[in-house]
């Protein structure tokens, strides 16, 4: 099965072609991504109207490149339908349906979050050696700019939400924290870089809802704690510009407090009984968190298979949208 996929949920325009020979057998034929980071960076976050305008500009260029390079038949067009920024989604939806109509290829709407969940199946790099009978029950952990969620999966079709954030998403909290520290957008990778230079235990932030007894998350209080701490330090330093070492110490403490919650809740979810853990979303590109998840597995769940996508497939891309169509479709055959 050859799937052409379109991703336009936020500020990345993605077009991919993926060949799927089986549920656990996928090959990326084309993968194009046009990043809009430079356009939105001056605003400190994504401007929906500008994002939609860029998708309109980028989609035909990327689709042409992908189709020309491949040159073969396409069986299916999969496109991100929800959730995301509505103006951006509308552009992708309209483009996919128009292309499908013109080429008489069926089109399928895809849940962007299912895309993140199945991203580690691309090339099967991290999931290689995985046998279908070893997959379920599985836990899905989505940690992106818009979502922080835990899922229970009994099959590729039966996916149940176990818990999610009641306010900010993890990526959003990192982006907002970075902004407080005067770092550019997107903040997650900037905090990661700065945290590497930070000294442990100089600052300690709360890990919200860690002991709430359920699988809900909350990150807005953590962001406020950072804001108050920065304001206090600025007052005592009598300057708005904090020393680089202080900023690095703050970044480390902030990142650690947030990741502690993610690891704690993931552990709680795995304790419900799981054969595998599927991680997805932009924050899964963070090396410290990747290592934290792998060490949780080796310490407490050695029998659980942890599938974390290659870094390029953690953040938004169209390959994962093709997978979110092809995997459930092929598993039904």
Give the residue from 15, 84, 3, 63 showing the smallest Cα distance to 329: 3
Closest approach, Cβ 316 to Zn ion, in A, equals: 4
What's the CA gap between 34 and 65, in Å, rounded?
12
> Could you tell me which stretch among 28-36, 90-98, 140-148, 208-216 binds ligand KG4 (CB under 6 A)?
140-148
| DSSP assignment string, 279-313 | EESGGGG-HHHHHHHHHHHHHH-TTSEEE---GGG
Give the residue from 148, 114, 163 showing the smallest Cα distance to 9: 114
Out of 120, 144, 255, 286, the only residue in the binding site for Zn ion (CB under 5 A) is: 144
283 binds, among ligand KG4, Zn ion, none (CB under 5 to 8 A by kind): ligand KG4
Out of 168, 175, 249, 256, the only residue in the binding site for ligand KG4 (CB under 6 A) is: 175
Out of 316, 320, 321, 326, the only residue in the binding site for Zn ion (CB under 5 A) is: 316
> Could you tell me which stretch among 131-139, 196-204, 238-246, 314-322 binds Zn ion (CB under 5 A)?
314-322
Residue recorded with tokens 């993610």: 262
Distances from the Cα of 234 to the Cαs of 229, 230, 238, in angstroms? 9, 6, 6
What's the CA gap between 30 and 16, in Å, rounded?
5
Closest approach, Cβ 303 to ligand KG4, in A, equals: 28
What's the CA gap between 191 and 333, in Å, rounded?
44
Task: Count residues binding Zn ion (CB under 5 A).
Answer: 2
Window 225-264: residues binding ligand KG4 (CB under 6 A): none
Closest approach, Cβ 2 to ligand KG4, in A, equals: 25
Toward ligand KG4, which CB reaches closer, 209 or 289? Answer: 289
Toward Zn ion, which CB reaches closer, 33 or 304? Answer: 33
What's the CA gap between 264 and 262, in Å, rounded?
6
Give the residue from 172, 114, 117 showing the smallest Cα distance to 144: 172
146 is an interface residue for ligand KG4 by CB under 6 A: yes
Q: What angle do CA 152, 156, 162 make, to 5 degrees?
A: 15
> Could you tell me which stretch among 13-21, 98-106, 268-276, 312-320 binds Zn ion (CB under 5 A)?
312-320
Distances from the Cα of 147 to the Cαs of 21, 33, 46, 142, 273, in angstroms? 31, 21, 15, 7, 23
Toward ligand KG4, which CB reaches closer, 175 or 256? Answer: 175
What's the CA gap between 49 and 306, in Å, rounded?
38
174 is an interface residue for ligand KG4 by CB under 6 A: yes
Toward Zn ion, which CB reaches closer, 168 or 316? Answer: 316
Sheet arrangement for strand 12-22: 25-35, 12-22, 2-7, 76-82, 107-111
Window 191-220: residues binding ligand KG4 (CB under 6 A): 192
| Contact code string over 284-313 relative to ligand KG4, x by CB under 6 A | -xx---------------------------
Q: Which residues bind ligand KG4 (CB under 6 A)?
A: 10, 144-146, 171, 174-175, 186-189, 192, 281-283, 285-286, 315-316
Q: Which residues bind Zn ion (CB under 5 A)?
A: 144, 316
């Amino acid at each position: 099965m050859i799937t052409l996929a379109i991703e336009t949920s936020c500020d990345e325009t993605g077009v991919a072609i993926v060949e799927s020979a089986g549920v656990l057998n996928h090959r990326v034929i084309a993968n194009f991504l046009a990043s809009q980071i430079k356009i939105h960076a001056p605003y400190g976050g994504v401007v929906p109207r500008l994002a939609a305008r860029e998708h309109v500009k980028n989609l035909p260029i990327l689709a042409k490149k992908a189709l020309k390079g491949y040159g073969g038949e396409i069986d299916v067009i999969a496109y991100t339908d929800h959730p995301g920024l509505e103006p951006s989604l509308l552009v992708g939806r309209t483009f996919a349906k128009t292309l499908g109509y013109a080429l008489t290829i069926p089109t399928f709407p895809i849940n962007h979050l299912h895309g993140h969940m199945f991203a580690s199946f691309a090339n099967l790099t991290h999931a290689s050696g995985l046998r279908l009978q070893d997959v379920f029950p599985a836990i899905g952990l989505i940690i992106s700019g818009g979502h922080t969620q835990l899922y229970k999966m009994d099959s590729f079709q039966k996916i149940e939400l176990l818990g999610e954030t009641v306010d900010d998403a993890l990526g959003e909290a990192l982006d907002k924290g970075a902004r407080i520290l005067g770092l550019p957008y997107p903040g997650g990778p900037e905090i990661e870089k700065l945290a590497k230079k930070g000294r442990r235990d100089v600052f300690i932030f709360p890990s919200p809802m860690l002991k709430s007894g359920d699988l809900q998350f909350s990150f807005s209080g953590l962001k406020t704690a950072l804001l108050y701490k920065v304001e206090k330090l600025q007052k005592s330093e009598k300057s708005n510009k904090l020393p680089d070492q202080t900023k690095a110490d703050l970044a480390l403490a902030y990142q650690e407090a947030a990741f502690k919650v993610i690891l704690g809740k993931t552990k709680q979810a795995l304790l419900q009984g799981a054969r595998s853990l599927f991680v997805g979303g932009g924050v899964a590109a963070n090396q410290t968190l990747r290592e934290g998840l792998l060490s949780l597995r080796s310490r407490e769940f050695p029998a659980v298979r942890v599938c974390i996508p290659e870094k390029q497939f953690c953040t938004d891309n169209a390959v994962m949208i093709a997978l979110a169509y092809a995997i459930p479709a092929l598993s039904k055959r």
